[in-house]
Amino acid sequence: MVGRSLDRSPNWPAGCVGSIAHTARLCIVVAARGTDYRSVGVDIEPAEPLERELFQTIAVDDELRQFPAGSRAIDARRLFVAKEAAYKCLHPVTGVFLDFHDVFVTFDGAHFVAAVRHPEIQEFEVDGVLHEHDGHFIALAALPVVSATPRSGRS
């Protein structure tokens, strides 16, 4: 049985980590062994262009500039999904609320790196992948046990 923690994150059975996301039509659940992953985060959103008035809320100019000008609205949605997945991965570990501008996402094809800059957690990087499936973007971010300690600013 998966419960719910005070921060609203799922409370997995001992030895497991995982993440849940849903839209009106689809739900996705990811689970992993705690010996392999310190945390995972998943998000799913309709693969639709992000409203232009939200660009500055979700991303900084340097993030948007990694994409061609003609596809920025759909790529801004990719940034949004990646950041939400990174947040769901990091929040259960750090307990720190992150704003969209605290996380800088860089894409390399389907792979992304979410770099966190926040006074309470110093530097923290999370790797992830983003795929399109059935009209949705699905982003998965993960902190493997082996790389979590040296790359985090807080244990």
Ligand X SMILES: CC(C)(COP(=O)(O)OP(=O)(O)OC[C@H]1O[C@@H](n2cnc3c(N)ncnc32)[C@H](O)[C@@H]1OP(=O)(O)O)[C@@H](O)C(=O)NCCC(=O)NCCS
Q: Where along the sequence are the contacts to ligand X (CB under 6 A)?
A: 4, 7-10, 19-22, 43, 83-84, 87-88, 91-92, 98-100, 103
Closest distance between ligand X and the C-beta of residue 62, in Å? 16
Please identify, using beta-carbon distances, which residue of 72 and 79 lies nearer to ligand X: 79
Please identify, using beta-carbon distances, which residue of 7 and 36 lies nearer to ligand X: 7
Closest distance between ligand X and the C-beta of residue 70, in Å? 26
Closest distance between ligand X and the C-beta of residue 33, in Å? 18
Please identify, using beta-carbon distances, which residue of 78 and 83 lies nearer to ligand X: 83
Structure tokens at 132: 């399109």
Closest distance between ligand X and the C-beta of residue 21, in Å? 4
Identity at 56, one-letter amino acid code? Q
Please identify, using beta-carbon distances, which residue of 42 and 72 lies nearer to ligand X: 42
CA distance 87 to 97: 8
CA distances from 47 to 5, 26, 43, 76, 137 (A): 29, 13, 12, 10, 5
Beta carbons within 8 Å of 112's beta carbon, 6+ residues apart: 82, 105, 106, 127, 128, 129, 130, 139
Q: Which letter does DSSP use for residue 88 in this model? A: H
